[in-house]
Structure 1
Amino acid sequence: MNDSPGWASPGSAPSDGRPPENSGETGPTGRAPESTPSGSKWSKEQPPAGQWSAPSGTPQRSHAQTPPRQGRNGAPQGGWGARGPGGWGGPPPAAKPGVIPLRPLGLGDILDGSVSTARAHWRTVLGVTVVVAVLVQIADILLQKFVLPAPTPITADPETNPTEALRQSLDSMQDTMISTVPSLLIGMIGTLFTTALLTIVVSRSVLGRAVSLGDAWREAKPRLPHLLGLTLLLTLGALAIMTVGMLPGWLLGSAGGAALAALGALAAAVVVVWLWIRFSLASPALMLERQSIGQALRRSSKLVQGSWWRVFGIQLVTALLTAIVSMLIVMLFSTIALVTDGSGLDGLVKGDASEFSWAFLVIGGIGAVIASCITYPISAGVSVLLYIDQRIRREALDLDLARAAGLPGYDTEQSPDQTPGN
C-alpha cells in the first residue's frame, strides 16, 4: 500500500506509547511487555479505528479530498480508518464541485472536463463559438474570393531546366505563404476572442458555477488587449524564427539553396515547437492571474519546467483529435458541395479560390463553422485545465479551489467568488 503525504501508514509504529516487543525496554509500569501468542509482534490492545494522525513537523499541503462522513458515535465512515470486508479502506475520493476532480489530472480527466464544460454551459459556449466562427468564415471567404492572388503555376520542365523549375517552385511557395498569412491572422483573431471568453467559462465550471455570455464578456474584456499583444508576440516570434532558418537557402537560390532552406526550416520548426510548448500556458495565466505579458510568459515557463514532454503529449493528442474531427467534418461538407456544384472541382485542382462558386464556398463555410464549434471549446478547455493541473501539482491549487467552491470541511477565509487564477 502506498503512503499518501500527510498520513501515517497504519501499523508502521506503536501508537500507545509502549516500546515494541523484544526491544529490551520496559513499559510504563516498569515491567517488560507481555508476549502475544504465536510470537506475534502486535500488541493485544490496538488503537481505535480512525485515530491515525498526520506526522508532526510536516506542514505539507495534501490534495483536496472529500471530508469523511461522521457516524452516530462520531467515528468517520469511509476513507482512512474505515474497516470493511477487505480490511482498511482506501483514501477518500477527491472533491469534485465542478467538471473536474480536485486532484492531479490525467489526459482523460482533462478531455472529459473540456467536453463536460461544453455540455454544462452549451448556451454560452455556442454563443461564443458560433458568432466568432461565422464572422471568421465570412471574412476568410471574401479574402480568398476577391483579394488574395492565385498561386503561380509551375510550367518549367524540371528535367530540362531545373533552375527555372526551382525558381517557379519558390515563387509558388511565396504566393502560398502570402495567401495563407491573412487567413491565419483572421483565424488568430477569432481564436483570441474564443480563448478569452472560454477561459472564463472553464474557470467558473471548475468551481461548479454557471456563467452567462455577458458575464464572461465583462470579465474577459479588460484582458483582451494584453491577450492580443501576447498572441501577436508569439506569432511574430514564430515567423521570425522560421524566416531566419530559411533565409540562407533563399539567398542562394540554387538546388543547394533549396536543400539548405528545407534543412533550416526543419531546425526552425523544432525551435518553434519547443517555445510553443514552453509558453502554451501563458494565455490562461494572463487571463486568470491578471498578469502582464512578460509575467505570463515567465509564469508559463515556470509551470512547464520539468513537465515539457507531458505538456507536449497532451497538447499533441488534443491537436490530433481536433484536427481529425475538423478534417472529417470539412471533407463531408466539401463532398456535399462538390455533389451540389461540380464547378468547384476546377478551383480545387488549380488551388485558386476565385474559381469556386458561391454555393461551394457557402456549403464549405458551414462545415468549417460546425467544425469550429466542436474544436474551439475542446482546445480552449484543454489549455485552461492543463494550466490548473500544473498548479495543482506544484502549488496545491486544489485546496484553494475547494475553499473557493465553499466545500464543507475547508477553511472559508477566501471569497467564494474566487476563480482558479486568483
Structure 2
Amino acid sequence: MSPGPYGPAGDASPAAAPTPGAGGWTPPPKPGLIPLRPLEFGTVLGASFQVLRRNPRPTFGAALLLNALVVFLSTGITTVIVVSGIDRASRASFADSETIIVGTLALTLVATLLAVGISIVAQALLQGVISLEVSRATLGEKLTLRQLLDRGRGRWWPLIGWTALVGVAVVIAFSVLAGISIGFFALGDPLAIAGGVIVLIVGVLGLIVVSVWISTMLAFVPAGIMIERLPILTAVRRSWGLVRGAFWRILGTLLLVSVMVNVAASVVTTPFQFAATFAAPLVNPAGQLETDLTLFLVLNVIVIAITAVVGAIGAVLTTSAASLLYIDRRMRTEGLDLELQRFVEVRASGAAADDPYRRAP
C-alpha cells in the first residue's frame, strides 16, 4: 500500500513533519470523535471519555439502564430473598425453619442464574451499541439509541452468542481446575493436599495469564461482529490478525482504562459498603431485628444505585477504548483513515457512499 500523509502503513508519525500550508499539506480532517489518522494513546483515552459527553443518551443512558437491571437482579432481588428468608426462618419453628432455608437457597440459585443470563444479554447489547456509536461518531454522525439498534439488526444474536461462549469457556476452565484440586484434597494424604494447593495456585496464575492473553487477542471480536458484520469465526480471525503486532500496546491501553475504572469505582462504593456492613450496631445498639433488616435494605439500595451508575460509566469507557483501538489498528494496517476521509468527502458532496468500515482490507 502506498504511503499516505502519515508515512507507511503502521507508522503514526508524519513522514517528514510538514507544516500546514507547506506544499499544500493540510491536517487530516476531524469530522467527529477523532481525527482521521492513526491515534496516539492520549487520543484514545480522551476520546473514550468524550463518548460519554458527546451522545449521552444512547451511551451512558443505555449503559445505566442495562447495568441497573443487572445489578438489581443480581444484588437487589437476591438480597430481598435472603433477608425475607432469614426473617421468616427466625419467626418459624425449628422444623419449619429448615424448609424455609432450603426454599430460600433454591430461590437464590434461580435468581442468580436468571441474573447471569440477563447479564450476558445486557453486556452484549451494550458492547454492540457502544461499538456502533464509536464507529459512527468517528464520521461525525450522532445517532439515537433506536437508530443504533436498527443499524445492528441481524448482529445482536451472534454477539450475544459470542458473549455467552466466552462466559461458558471461563466457567469450564475454572471448574476443571477446581475439580482437579478437589481430587487431590479428597485423597486426604498430606502430600496429596500439598500437591492440590500447588496445582490450585499454579493453575489460577496460569489461567489468569492465558485469559489475559486470549482476551486481548480477541478484544476486537465485538467490533468485528457489529461494525463489519462478520460471522463469529471470521470475527475471531479478524481480531487475532489485527491485534498481532500490537499486543502490548493494546493490552496496556485496555489494562490502564480498566484499572482507572476499578479504582474510581472502589473509591466511590467502598464507604457505602462499609456503612452497609457496620452501621447497624451504631444506629441500632439494641439489636432489634426489624430495624437491622430495614437499615440493611436501605443501605444496600444506595449501594446498588451507586454501583449501577459507576458500572455504567466504566462499561462505556472500556468498550469505547476497545472500539477506538480497533479503528486505530485498521488505520495503521489497512489505510482505513484514507477510506474514512474519502467517505466524508463523498458525503459532503451530497453523493451516496458505501459504509467504509465494511470494505475489504
Q: Structure 2 vs 1, CA of residues 342 and 196 (structure 1 numbering), >3 Å: closer, same or farther?
A: farther
Higher normalized helix content (fraction of residues): 2
- The residue identity in structure 1 corresponding to 2:60 is L
Aligned twin of 1:143: 78
- Distance in 2, matches of 1:344 and 1:416, equals 65
- The 1:6–1:222 alpha-carbon spacing in structure 2 relative to 1, beyond 3 Å, is closer
**Residue 251 (structure 1) aligned with residue 183 (structure 2):** yes
**Number of residue-to-residue matches in the alignment:** 314
Structure 1 position 321 matched with structure 2 position 260: yes
Q: Map 1:62-73 onto structure 2 (within 5 A).
A: none
Query: Which residue of 4, 24, 29 maps to 1:95?
Result: 29
- Matched residue SS, 1:325: helix
* Contact 2:339–2:356 (Cα < 8 Å) also in 1: no
Alpha carbons of structure 1 residues 316 and 336: separation in structure 2 relative to 1, 3 Å: same
SS at match of 2:22: coil
8 Å CA contact 1:250–1:258 kept in 2: the answer is no
Counterpart residue identity of residue 58, structure 2: T
Task: Tell me how far apart the structure 2 counterparts of residues 124 and 342 of structure 1 sit (CA, whole Å).
Answer: 43
| TM-score between the two structures when normalised by the length of structure 2 | 0.75
The residue that corresponds to 2:51 in the other structure is: 117
What's the TM-score, normalizing by structure 1?
0.65
* Identity percentage of aligned residues: 26
Equivalent pair of 2:181/2:199 in contact (CA under 8 Å)? yes
Opposite residue 191 of structure 1, the aligned amino acid is: Q
Higher relative contact order (CA 8 A, sep 6+): 2
> Match of 1:128?
62
Aligned to 2:244: 305
CA distance change for structure 1 residues 123 and 344 in 2, over 3 Å: closer, same or farther? farther
Structure 1: how far apart are the matches of 2:114 and 2:209?
24
**Aligned-residue offset at 1:142:** 0.8
Query: Over aligned residue pairs, what C-alpha RMSD do you find?
Result: 3.8
Say which one has the larger Rg: 1
Give, in angstroms, the shift of residue 341 of structure 1: 5.4
Q: CA deviation at 1:343?
A: 8.1
Gaps of 5+ in 1: 8-53, 66-76, 83-90, 151-176, 346-353
How far residue 383 of structure 1 moved from its aligned partner, in angstroms, is: 1.2
| Aligned residue in 2 for 1:380 | 319
Cα gap change, 1:228/1:6 in structure 2, threshold over 3 Å: closer, same or farther? closer
CA offset digits 1:49-100 (Å, max 9, x no partner): xxxxx9xxx9x8998x9xxxxxxxxxxx934337xxxxxxxx6322211111
* CA separation of 1:335 and 1:260: change in aligned 2, threshold 3 A: closer
Question: Corresponding residue for 2:23?
Answer: 81
**2:289 matched residue in structure 1:** none
Residue 106 of structure 1 aligns with an amino acid whose one-letter code is E
CA 1:178–1:107 in structure 2 vs 1: closer, same or farther (change >3 Å)?
Answer: farther
Report deviation, 1:404: 1.9
Tell me, in whole angstroms, the C-alpha distance in 2 between the residues paired with 1:340 and 1:401.
56
Q: Which residue of 2 aligns with 1:334?
A: 273
SS at 1:126 equivalent: helix
CA distance 1:256–1:220, change in 2 (3 Å): same
Cα distance, 1:256 vs. partner? 2.6
Distance 1:263 1:394 in 2: 37
Aligned partner of 2:31: which letter? Answer: P
Tell me, yes or no, if the aligned pair for 2:58 and 2:145 is still in contact at 8 Å.
yes
> Which residue, 172, 184, 187 being the options, matches 1:240?
172
Instruction: Please list the CA deviations of residues 328-386 of structure 1 after superposition, one character each: whole Å capped at 9, or x if unmatched.
Output: 221244356568756899xxxxxxxx998210221001111210232121111111111
Separation in 1, partners of 2:244, 2:125: 28
Give, as a single letter, the amino acid of the residue that structure 1 aligns with 2:265. S
Q: Find the aligned partners of 1:417 and 1:378 in 2 and give their Cα distance.
A: 28
Alpha-carbon deviation of 1:222? 2.1
